Amino acid sequence: MNTSNRRSGLPAKRSRVQLYSLILLNSYILASVGKYICLPVLNCYACPIGTVACPIGSITAFAMVLDFPFYVIGLLGLAGLAVGRAFCGWVCPFGYVQDLLHRIPGRKLRLPRALDATKYVLLVVLVVGLPLLLGNPYDFSGTERVVFEAGGTWDYCALVCPVGTLEAGVPGLIASPDFREKASWRTVSKFAILAAVLVLAVLSHRSFCRVLCPLGALMAMASRVTLPRLRTHQATCTRCQRCQRVCPTSSRLVPEDAGEGEATSECVLCLECVQRCPEAGTLSARLGGKTLAVSGGKTDE
């Protein structure tokens, strides 16, 4: 039996965790409690079966009423501090969708690293900037905490978010005649963005996370002081570049000194590189001073 494409070890464990998280984060019965909580994952809370509140939608809603999202930033920051971007690599349902799509065989692309900055622009302009400046068109006072209204707004959720389109827009269009009546040029453009993101996910691994995810931008900032870290020992590294080839976010292992290096903030701690590194002990994932995983010199390439 040919087992060359079978996933084993850490990648297999990660796939299982991602599947469980996809189910748990879209379990309708838990939504009545979960929607008070923001987790650092992109899972649209407009979706009736979505369990937790979307941090990006929540930050936008606060910005529209000129309020600072203390609770959301506190929750996201603490989660980021504890596990960093591991949420992106192990928990985010849309990350899992992209991982599955990228398994479709065919020609693959590497996006230029310069594009990584796009997500920071989207965070500043569409998640915070425009909602702050334009507010909620349904409430012109701009100072009262009102329920965020749909449509007519200029923000990330209304203009770009492919997760919202996939999880709420698609079922809405299929199930609701009212939804179909209200469809506008924005609906068409969002479906075009969703299609482009899904096609790009097949061609380039985690391209949405790298380029378009404003939550990824927030978590990348938090990952600078996070506890778990991916480190490399320069002395035993043979520069074979295998880690770079399997990295879904094209994160670089930056040498800090002659002895050790550390992954950049794009690293989602998927640990694919640790699994594939042929040099024993060269790559290691650590939490504080404790080693969580270390390259064992085995490779399945």
Residues that bind other proteins (CB under 8 A): 31, 35-38, 44-46, 50, 53-54, 57-58, 60-62, 69-75, 77-78, 81, 145, 147-148, 150-151, 157-159, 161, 164-165, 168-169, 172, 179, 182-184, 186-187, 190, 225, 227, 229, 288-289
* Closest CB to other proteins among residues 62, 96: 62
Rounded-to-integer distance, Cα 244 and Cα 118, Å? 21
Closest listed residue to residue 268, CA positions, set 85, 144, 95? 85
State in angstroms the smallest separation of the CB of 43 from other proteins.
Answer: 11
* Closest CB to other proteins among residues 187, 234: 187
State in angstroms the smallest separation of the CB of 34 from other proteins.
Answer: 9
Rounded-to-integer distance, Cα 31 and Cα 116, Å? 33
| Sheet with strand 290-294: strands edge to edge | 253-255, 260-263, 228-233, 283-287, 290-294
Backbone φ and ψ for 3, nearest 5 degrees, come out as: -115, 15
State in angstroms the smallest separation of the CB of 78 from other proteins.
Answer: 5
* Closest CB to other proteins among residues 12, 192: 192
* Closest CB to other proteins among residues 253, 279: 253
State in angstroms the smallest separation of the CB of 153 from other proteins.
Answer: 8
> Cα 228 to the chain's mean position, in Å?
17
State in angstroms the smallest separation of the CB of 237 from other proteins.
Answer: 21
Rounded-to-integer distance, Cα 89 and Cα 83, Å? 11
State in angstroms the smallest separation of the CB of 67 from other proteins.
Answer: 8
**Residue position matching structure tokens 């425009």:** 130
* Closest CB to other proteins among residues 22, 75: 75
State in angstroms the smallest separation of the CB of 60 from other proteins.
Answer: 8
* Closest CB to other proteins among residues 11, 169: 169
* Closest CB to other proteins among residues 46, 237: 46
Q: Positive or negative, the Cα torsion across 173, 176, 181, 184?
A: negative
| Cβ atoms 35, 157 nearer than 8 A | no
Q: In three state form, how does the secondary structure of 60-124 look?
A: HHHHHCCCCCHHHHHHHHHHHHHHCCHHHHHHCHHHHHHHHHHCCCCCCCCCCHHHHHHHHHHHH
